[in-house]
Structure 1
Amino acid sequence: MEKKEELLKKLSDCVFDMEDEEVVDVVKEYIACGFDPQEGMLSGLVDGMKRASAMYEEGEYFVPELIVCSDAMYAGIEEFQKYLPESAHTSIGKVVIGVVEGDTHDIGKNLVRIMLETGGFDVHDLGRDVPTDAFVDYVRNNDVDIVCMSSLMTTTMPGMSAVIEKLKEEGLRDKVKFMVGGAPVSPAFAQKIGADGYTRNAIEAVAFAKELVGA
């Protein structure tokens, strides 16, 4: 399977090296060889984004570089989605996702959204800097299985607790499950605020979301 490993590395490198045009050609080559699209996304594109994120944490990459890396990843995922089996498009659950109020860091949230969608979920994205009431209103007015909230700043983490508490006040807490994530978030924090779980990355998020809906 040397060819597959070579192509997975090329996919990863396209994201890491910010090659948002070349990545589509590599995806097509990968698919033409008959390899699995899901593996290509996870072991290729997502791997490249993880490498870029590590460089960001080390101070070698900055926000502009991460944005271009994510553009390359999204371009690759969009191409891969054309080749997913029909069963992958059947909804196994409904998710609303957003970055809590005061926080505009949404690369991680966007990655989780894409991976949930490719994992079979119907996802509504509220975006970034989402007010507490926007989460609450969406849960109140829609059929939702899971609420996903992210924060990349310690100063905005309390927004997650605010959403859960507001839903408790309105008698809606038991209607949904809560997943939280982001660099400063931890399992202990998730437990403290009454969330149903914490995941470190997009791959874990999909697996845990499937557990929550019994898929």
Structure 2
Amino acid sequence: MDGELFPRERALVAPGAVHVPDWLDADRQRELLDACREWARPPAGLRTVRTPGGGTMSARQVCLGWHWHPYAYARTVVDGDGAPVKPFPAWLGELARRAVADALGADAGRWTAAYDIALINFYDGDARMGMHRDADEKSDAPVVSLSLGDACVFRFGNTETRTRPWTDVELRSGDLFVFGGPSRTAYHGVPRVLPGTGPATLGLTGRLNVTLRVSGFTDAT
């Protein structure tokens, strides 16, 4: 936030999991927000995700490249309007590669496949995300997470259980979080959004999380 006594520093939260504060500057945040608003329009736009048990996720979602539905991927919005999923833009893949390089340094060279999935989640002030693993892909490339708007408490746990040990990290607008290697399948979630904490100049009420992944799929998947 403005006027802090000490600047926030990058942090190794767990092996292979790195938080980089303020990675996106104000202009890049606005550009990404503008793109998210276009992606959220129908067809294949922002939707409420329904779980197999009949519940609904409180964060709404739109997908690029491959459409995620619990707990699989498809090329069409099979749990929505049935439209083809929106394409994954090359510039977003380049942004993901740069994020991994900046966060993981020399270790980034282990992964060469192109990023081809974006899951964009919109959280209003009451939305949450339970502890879960990103385990529906066939690639072990790092997950890239970018935050826009209101800050949140991001809970990063372990690979064995949804319970402790975990670390709570405050993610703010422009922050980058990358997790790969031994932390690629760690449980994580968002227990709380902090309403009214986003930068006023961004013009976003709520929180957007742009999550970028490598599918490891072929079109026959």
Q: What TM-score do the two structures reach when normalised by structure 2?
A: 0.26
Larger Rg: 1
Structure with greater strand share of residues: 2
Q: What TM-score do the two structures reach when normalised by structure 1?
A: 0.27
